[in-house]
Amino acid sequence: MADVDTLLKEYIAAHRAGEEADPRDWLARLEGRERALLAAMIDTYLERAPAPEWDPEAFRQSGLAPLAERIDLALQGQAGTWPALLPSLSHKRRLKRSEVVARLAGALGLPDRQDKVGSYYHEMERGLLPAEGVQDRVLEALGSILGQSAEALRAAGRELAPGAGSDVAGATAFAREARVDPAFAVDAVSAPPASPGTDDDEEWDEVDRLFRGG
Amino acid sequence: MFTLRLPAASCRSAGRGPKLSDYRRPGRLKGIVGGDAFKEKGEHELAVMPEGELIAYLLDARAHGAPTGLAVSILVFKLMSDVRRRVAMKVPAEAIDEVAEAVLLSALTSSFDGTSAGEFRNWLTTIIKRRIADHHRSPKTDVRLVPLPEEHEGDDEVWGRRVSVPFEGEAIDVERALDQAKRELNPEHLEVVSLYIFEDLPAAEVADRLVGITEANVHKIAQRFRDRVTELLSERDDTST
């Protein structure tokens, strides 16, 4: 274990010095069981290594802000992990939000109602639309566009209420999807807010029923 | 929905101060949690909170409808780099970001299920292992079908310059041997091993920190631990042949 010990010490020193400290650079210097052992020991070190101090400027430059925003939307919203999941899925498919909306409206047989479908989809991405109100037909259509099953999308949309579990299938689905390119993230989160169907004077139509009728 | 079971013999939490479970007892820590006593905290206060407290604050802020964006940002910033490092050792390069993001999403959202008490770092480790396993179970990213990096040595466009550890076989054996060797230690000796081997503190400093432990003891305990790991790995070799 001598080499492993030496490399572990070197790794810890690099990590503490604030270097990039990508473990793979150290693992590449060993093979087979010794590599596996070093990986396990580095993991044990990282498990309890002190976290970096909060640095707002470094955070801004890290590219992590969109991820934090999506997680926060999920926590604040009433649609489970949809705010984190939907932009990620569309990014994975290289689809802009407008393309998702157009395809969704088409799949629902409502190509002339893209604006309203888009408003509802925006609410889904922002966690503003309760998932239980969204009909299976919508989730099936959306799932076929985003490469996920309707069941996985339904599970991901379960509200993260205090006291309610949240490790839903969507989290697993999210694990397999790529991080969101800023261009797509901006597209996803900056669309003007809308509240279709919430005006008491407005009559419900087919789009309202699909997204809010349950 | 799931309930995470924390490993009994895991190392102590890196976070200092009260445990997350403390905050779930009404009135246990007034001023942070409890009834209507919620008080929104500023950036300077949040920035220095141990992770467990920060998660607990997030829980309480959310329950009170208070903003959570800053607390989430701080947690993501503090946790992401080491989560990425840990994930990077177990999944192919192209999957690191998505798995690491999934870990963060799971960690920060499942903290609100009311069942995941205990030390945050142990719990995060459990989530990391789960998400890595999820990734490897996915037919889309079946790592067994992916050529090893060495086959593309020098081809950075395919693999980059780095290698990770295959998730199955050797890695599992080593993790089990390490876990077993740690489990066999009493709490005091586990602390010695943790500080001396896994935090790389000088033996003299470890001895200073622990009552009744000399520098010579530290070396002896660490060597015994190393020998035990080697022995366990040999036993696994014997079993598998």
pLDDT at A119: 96
Indicate the residue type of B216. A
Query: Which is higher by pLDDT, B148 or A125?
Result: A125
pLDDT averaged over chain A?
A: 82
Verify that B76 and B127 share a domain, yes or no: yes
pLDDT at B158: 38
pLDDT at A163: 34
Predicted structure pTM score: 0.74
Verify that B108 and B203 share a domain, yes or no: no
Asked if B117 reaches chain A (Cβ–Cβ under 8 Å), the answer is no
Verify that B181 and B126 share a domain, yes or no: no
Q: What is the ipTM of this complex?
A: 0.77
| Mean pLDDT of the A89-100 span | 90
Query: What distance in Å separates the CA atoms of residue B19 and residue B14, rounded to the nearest whole number?
Result: 11
Query: Which is higher by pLDDT, A190 or B212?
Result: B212
Query: What distance in Å separates the CA atoms of residue A185 and residue A73, rounded to the nearest whole number?
Result: 13
Verify that B60 and B131 share a domain, yes or no: yes
Which residues form the domain of B180? 169-240
Judge: B101–A8 Cβ closer than 8 Å, yes or no.
no
Asked if A58 reaches chain B (Cβ–Cβ under 8 Å), the answer is yes
Verify that B33 and B117 share a domain, yes or no: yes
Q: Given CA atoms B95, B101, B102, B103 in this order, what sign does their dihedral have?
A: positive
Listed residues B110, B144, B178: the one ending a domain: B144
The verdict on residue B95 lying in a domain is yes
Verify that B122 and B176 share a domain, yes or no: no
Least confident span in A86-90, A146-150, B11-15, B84-88? B11-15
Query: Which is higher by pLDDT, A25 or B115?
Result: A25
Judge: B105–A25 Cβ closer than 8 Å, yes or no.
no
Tens-place pLDDT, residues B116-166: 444 778 888 888 888 888 888 764 533 222 222 333 344 444 334 455 665
Verify that B110 and B216 share a domain, yes or no: no
| Mean pLDDT of the A13-34 span | 93
Q: Which residues of B touch A178 (CB under 8 A)?
A: 97-98
The verdict on residue B155 lying in a domain is no
Query: What distance in Å separates the CA atoms of residue B32 and residue B23, rounded to the nearest whole number?
Result: 8
Q: Is A85 exposed, middle or buried (0-12, 13-18, 19+ CB in 10 A)?
A: buried
The verdict on residue B74 lying in a domain is yes
Q: Do the beta carbons of residue B77 and residue A12 sit within 8 Å? A: no
Question: Quick one: CA torsion of B175, B181, B182, B188, rounded to 10 degrees?
Answer: -160
Verify that B140 and B48 share a domain, yes or no: yes
Query: How many structural domains is chain B composed of?
Result: 2
Listed residues B129, B144, B159: the one ending a domain: B144
**Contact residues, A window 69-128, toward B, CB-based 8 Å cutoff:** 69, 71-72, 74-76, 81, 84, 88
The alpha carbon of residue B198 is apart from the nearest alpha carbon of chain A, in Å, by 5
The verdict on residue B2 lying in a domain is no
Number of helices (H) and strands (E) in chain A: give both, helices first: 13, 0
Q: Where are the alpha helices (DSSP H) in A127-205?
A: 136-146, 150-156, 169-175, 182-189
Query: Which is higher by pLDDT, B4 or A211?
Result: A211
The alpha carbon of residue B211 is apart from the nearest alpha carbon of chain A, in Å, by 22
Verify that B36 and B85 share a domain, yes or no: yes
Residue in chain B closest to A66 (alpha carbons) equals: B73
Query: Which is higher by pLDDT, A196 or B227?
Result: B227
Listed residues B107, B129, B144: the one ending a domain: B144
Verify that B91 and B178 share a domain, yes or no: no
**Contact residues, B window 44-103, toward A, CB-based 8 Å cutoff:** 46-47, 51, 58-59, 62-63, 68-69, 72-74, 76-82, 85-86, 88-90, 97-99, 101-103
pLDDT at B157: 42
User: Is residue A162 over pLDDT 80?
Assistant: no
Residue of A1, A3, A2 whose CA lies nearest to A28? A3
Indicate the residue type of B1. M
CB-nearest partner of A24 from B73, B138, B162: B162
Flag residues of chain B having pLDDT under 70.
1-36, 111-118, 138-169, 239-241
Query: Which is higher by pLDDT, A176 or B99?
Result: B99
Query: What distance in Å separates the CA atoms of residue A72 and residue B169, rounded to the nearest whole number?
Result: 38
Verify that B139 and B193 share a domain, yes or no: no
pLDDT at A18: 92
pLDDT at A200: 52
pLDDT at A190: 41
User: Is residue A2 over pLDDT 80?
Assistant: no
Question: Quick one: CA torsion of B35, B75, B135, A89, rounded to 10 degrees?
Answer: 90
pLDDT at A198: 55
pLDDT at B163: 54
Verify that B30 and B133 share a domain, yes or no: yes
Query: What distance in Å separates the CA atoms of residue B46 and residue B50, rounded to the nearest whole number?
Result: 9
